[in-house]
Chains A and B, each alone.
Chain A
């Protein structure tokens, strides 16, 4: 390697290291600030009383986010920086907005959901029971993928999200069950929707991925960045509608 290349490499290394020291979250991998931004954007955008809380449910001005997939801390924990949440109270009831929370599936495996809106009652049951994953599906779950805008997400991401939705609620995707006797319908039952999901990404989707998600009623939000104000407003509206119709 020439002295010139050596110099260029060490200049770039020094600049990047300096940035990583000032912004430690960037060194945890790309997408952490994207998750934090959307998490806050949703909290600030939905109606009702939204309060930042520490892991014990006390209002706080110091919000701690999960740095990676994590469980709900026990309410008894005295750890200073266990992850908190947003408490959301409106006429539909009490909900909690979490980041990177693990949810327990039917298989007992846990699955991280980047941003999830969950029922406060269930959250408190977990919290008071010593902490752990949230049982079952979220009210709304968003999977976030922060890539370069030139990237196209292939269908593996959609498959993974469908797998999570199915494990959290094996009835996911089944809307109606009907029974037919000889020559006539005997009964039909429409199942309540448990768990709505969305894939939010700065990248675009391949047509096959988009079709896959649409088939299973998983919302897709491609090319979604802080600059795309209309798309951001559309997602917040959609979340608000779902909350209002709970």
Chain B
């Protein structure tokens, strides 16, 4: 992580320390691989086993700050597109299957009264929340990119 550009580190740290830490790991994983997805399989004779060893070291493929930004922007963009696509399709499927609520066990559990399913998979706010996050994330990427361009935060 220390090998990354400080602005990129800040973005990844923000994700990792949030409840969406898995999204942060997705970004980190993308940075580890670099643009060559086969790289991890070329490390040793049986590298796919090597990958699971606890001694697996952080080795970013690219030390160029702009490329690091492109990589995390790319992976989060694809994740968001997938989530948005699924949210829309789940919404359509729920109508076909005559479902008003699709929730996970434990979600909306209330000690008394009716359970609150507002965050369920067909909740109206889901698509908007994903879009809002997308905008905020892109804004942070833009801020870091501008700082790099202006020579403000260069490693």
Give the interface of A toward B (CB within 8 A).
1-2, 4-6, 8-30, 32-34, 36-37, 40-41, 43-44, 50, 52, 61-67, 70, 80-83, 147-152, 154-156, 202, 204, 206, 225-227
Contacts of B55 in A (CB 8 A): none
Contacts of B82 in A (CB 8 A): 34, 202, 225-227
Give the nearest-CB partner of B38 in chain A: A152
Contact of B139 among A5, A11, A148 (CB under 8 A): A11
Interface size on B, residues (CB 8 A): 74
**Interface assignment of B103: CB less than 8 Å from any CB of chain A:** yes
Contacts of B26 in A (CB 8 A): 30, 147-148
Contact of B144 among A8, A52, A67, A80 (CB under 8 A): A8
Give the nearest-CB partner of B103 in chain A: A64
A–B complex contacts, Cβ < 8 Å, 10 sampled: A12-B140, A16-B14, A16-B133, A23-B126, A26-B83, A36-B121, A43-B97, A81-B115, A150-B37, A156-B48
Counting from the closest, the 8 A-B pairs by CB-CB distance are: A12-B14, A154-B48, A22-B129, A16-B18, A15-B136, A20-B19, A27-B19, A67-B104
Question: Cβ of B20 and Cβ of A19 under 8 Å apart?
Answer: yes
Give the interface of B toward A (CB within 8 A).
6-7, 9-11, 13-15, 17-20, 22-23, 26, 29-30, 33, 37-38, 40-41, 48-49, 51-52, 75, 78-79, 81-83, 85-87, 89-90, 93-94, 96-109, 115, 117, 119, 121, 123, 125-126, 128-130, 132-133, 136-137, 139-140, 143-144, 147, 152-153
